[in-house]
A and B are shown apart, each in its own frame.
Chain A
């Protein structure tokens, strides 16, 4: 099924990553990520607005956009709060921020368990299969960064050693 929105979505994503890389955690910055969503007018399918996030500088709980008090046929909820967890500093970090955050927040990287190196390689390959436009010559740097900062040695993740899960 084709989807008829966001002809410009790729560029929109890069713009987001640039904003992230110099994110100023002071005020709520509104980012209209949806490059086609500069108008509140509905498309032919009724979708008026999508993919709108606002930086949630506290990283925790912030007020969300108020419920719009009107009686039109448009049902809206305002912007979704963004609170990306910063990545570990290191070589390759900017590439990861630029390419990975086209489609998803880098929060998802830090939210993974310490994965063995080959699993991080597989994850990056999977993302490329899903459509991540990572140039071939940059794949190595991205994989290296993830393995170095978010990886674990293989022997630490073997089924013969049960994971000690901390008790509450």
Chain B
């Protein structure tokens, strides 16, 4: 299977046929994700899984993914630096566009609301390190389960509409984005400020929004109030919160956050080995430059209860990809030996979670391994074998859900 991963396959069925019996000897990591971490309560949020109190890092508990649009109050939070806004005065706040532009501009919140055409996109926001706890050997960083992600309807204005007003000069190479959050490191060090850049030739810029609404409400403070950069199909590393500065650069961004952090292997599986890293042979790209790989998840059953033999249930989950939405989700109820195609729910757009479901009646008591795997619009299929990279990024291995079926008599 490995050779097929990440390649464009017109019909996934054919790929599976090459897998012989379809059975895998691999011991896949347990992907139970009802994480046993304490919950924490922060302003504007329901109790979420507290991975760090300062800076704030909160994971969305699994039951919230029953809803295709993740509620704002349950949406995950991830900051790198701890000086997070507690209060913002919109009479003073400005979004500045500067650098290599004809007219440096500062937009007030009311100008953004009134002077540009509003539009919406439903898009998944996923941390590059989502599911990092699955990596083996283990890697340092936030030990996310699968809840470092969320899906929302983002409403705002086109990034390009603002840039057109400012007039980008032709020899601009990149756009750098920075928000109001900062850190306590000395000025000029990476622990003082977090910013990310996108290549000016990147086609995704045409789809980027500067969002002032999330699911029809103001953004929660911890999700980027008053405006946030939306980069559909890309990891959240570049979805800058509290966006306040956009700078047109004439040289590539050489900052730590672009050159050292958030780099993933250039190969299609985003996978390498500790040996290759140690030998200095690994070629990498910024995680923000590439589409998120295809993933799928079980939402139900979640082993919060035992299943009853012969009692029908509906296996339900979600899937998404940064490359053309979801074409197909397959589910195995026998540990990967055979697969059935799940029914897809309504389509909220190519960057959204896609719900899927499959009726199932457990026939025998015992332990059952459910698996789900998705194929995206470009024909990419989820990895079957575990991937590894030193940052713990871009995990997209097929999920396994162990369930227990009990006797009925």
Measured CB to CB, the nearest residue on chain B to A115 is B140
Chain A residues positioned under 8 Å from B178 (CB to CB): 1, 3
Contact with A along B234-269 (1 / 0, CB 8 A): 000000000011010000000010001000000000
Judge whether B84 and A50 touch: CB under 8 Å. yes
Contacts A104-B55, A167-B30: A76 and B86 contacting too (C-beta < 8 A)?
A: yes
Contacts A3-B187, A53-B54, A129-B256: A45 and B93 contacting too (C-beta < 8 A)?
A: yes
Judge whether A130 and B87 touch: CB under 8 Å. no
- Give chain A's interface secondary structure class: loop
Measured CB to CB, the nearest residue on chain B to A66 is B43
A139: Cβ under 8 A from any B Cβ: no
Measured CB to CB, the nearest residue on chain A to B177 is A1
CB < 8 Å: which of A34, A47, A167 contacts B180?
Answer: A47
B6: Cβ under 8 A from any A Cβ: no
Contact with A along B165-195 (1 / 0, CB 8 A): 0000000000010101111111101111101
Q: How far is the CA of A34 from the CA of B183 in the complex (A)?
A: 10
Chain A residues positioned under 8 Å from B176 (CB to CB): 1
Q: How far is the CB of A98 from chain B (nearest CB, A)?
A: 13
Judge whether A3 and B42 touch: CB under 8 Å. no
B138: Cβ under 8 A from any A Cβ: yes
Judge whether A75 and B87 touch: CB under 8 Å. yes
Judge whether B184 and A9 touch: CB under 8 Å. yes
Question: Which residues of chain A in 30-86 are interfacial with respect to chain B, using CB atoms and an 8 Å cutoff?
Answer: 33-34, 40, 42-53, 56, 59-65, 67, 72-84
Question: Which residues of chain B in 262-297 are interfacial with respect to chain A, using CB atoms and an 8 Å cutoff?
Answer: 273-274
The total number of A-B Cβ pairs within 8 Å is 227
Q: How far is the CB of B227 from chain A (nearest CB, A)?
A: 12
Contacts A9-B83, A81-B40: A107 and B182 contacting too (C-beta < 8 A)?
A: no
A141: Cβ under 8 A from any B Cβ: no
Measured CB to CB, the nearest residue on chain A to B136 is A163
Chain A residues positioned under 8 Å from B195 (CB to CB): 1
A131: Cβ under 8 A from any B Cβ: yes
Q: How far is the CA of A163 from the CA of B43 in the complex (A)?
A: 37
Chain A residues positioned under 8 Å from B42 (CB to CB): 64, 80-81
Question: Which residues of chain A in 87-140 are interfacial with respect to chain B, using CB atoms and an 8 Å cutoff?
Answer: 102-105, 107-108, 111-116, 119, 123, 127, 129-133
B221: Cβ under 8 A from any A Cβ: yes
Chain A residues positioned under 8 Å from B140 (CB to CB): 112-113, 115, 119, 123
Judge whether A158 and B89 touch: CB under 8 Å. no
Looking at A9, A76, A84, A129, the one whose CB has the most chain B CB atoms below 10 A away is A9
Judge whether A51 and B34 touch: CB under 8 Å. no
Measured CB to CB, the nearest residue on chain B to A101 is B54
Judge whether B92 and A44 touch: CB under 8 Å. yes
Q: How far is the CA of A53 from the CA of B189 in the complex (A)?
A: 23
Contact with B along A154-168 (1 / 0, CB 8 A): 000111001101111
A6: Cβ under 8 A from any B Cβ: yes
Judge whether A46 and B43 touch: CB under 8 Å. no
Judge whether B193 and A3 touch: CB under 8 Å. yes
CB < 8 Å: which of B54, B92, B247 contacts A42?
Answer: B92
Judge whether B92 and A103 touch: CB under 8 Å. no
Judge whether B143 and A112 touch: CB under 8 Å. yes
B137: Cβ under 8 A from any A Cβ: yes
Contact with A along B128-146 (1 / 0, CB 8 A): 0000010011111011000
Contacts A111-B51, A132-B191, A165-B29: A48 and B88 contacting too (C-beta < 8 A)?
A: yes
Beyond A105-B52, A130-B185, 17 additional contacts (C-beta under 8 Å) are A5-B83, A9-B83, A43-B92, A50-B83, A56-B40, A60-B39, A60-B40, A64-B43, A74-B87, A75-B221, A77-B43, A77-B86, A80-B53, A84-B54, A105-B82, A119-B139, A165-B30
User: What are 12 residue pairs bridging A and B, where the CB atoms are less than 8 Å apart in the complex?
Assistant: A1-B195, A3-B187, A46-B88, A48-B86, A50-B83, A51-B86, A65-B43, A81-B42, A102-B184, A103-B82, A131-B183, A162-B136
